[in-house]
Amino acid sequence: MTKVSLNAAAKLAGVSKSTISKALKTGILSYAERTTAGYQIDISELTRVYPTAAPNTLKPVANQSPEPLENTSNLSHSSQLLMLRLEAAEEQQRRTDAMLEDIREDRDRWRQQATALLTDQRALPVTDDAESALPTAPTAQGFWSRLFGKTHGFDA
């Protein structure tokens, strides 16, 4: 990719150098490298942030002198690393999906059990008398009876 200086980037984008400098410092615009001579800004990054950058002033790719690839083995190594990372991420995603499915099944079982307990779906004891099989409501005690632990009336 073609890299330009801060001054050239400002001219291409049609803005001032201070605007480009502020964009670089705030991280809105990224730079390829920073040397003692200044920032080296990639033109594609410049057109990403400033889409109105003068595309007519740039030379077409076909007219530029081709840059030979310096080290293709490094590119293939990077490609292999990226493939390994992708496979690891996919494996992690499969594990996460399986764990999520287990959690959902547990949740459904717990919900079913809680519903059964709240609706009291336990089997009633079998007796001969149909009325004795019905659950009886506990007798309500008054406040003073509960306070003093007595079951009937006041004993002063």
Classify domain 3-63 at the CATH class level.
Answer: mainly alpha
Q: How far apart (Å, rounded) are the C-alpha atoms in residues 29 and 20?
A: 8
The verdict on pTM exceeding 0.85 is: no
- Read off the tokens for 144: 């003073």
Q: pLDDT-derived band of residue 46, with 50, 70 and 90 as boundaries?
A: confident
**Domain range list for the chain:** 3-63, 74-116
Q: Are 53 and 47 in contact (CB under 8 A)?
A: yes
139-147: average pLDDT: 78
Per-residue pLDDT of 85-137, as tens digits, reads 999 999 999 999 999 999 999 999 999 998 888 887 666 666 666 555 556 66
Q: What does the pLDDT read at residue 110?
A: 94
Q: Which one has a higher pLDDT value, 150 or 155?
A: 150
Q: How far apart (Å, rounded) are the C-alpha atoms in residues 23 and 35?
A: 18
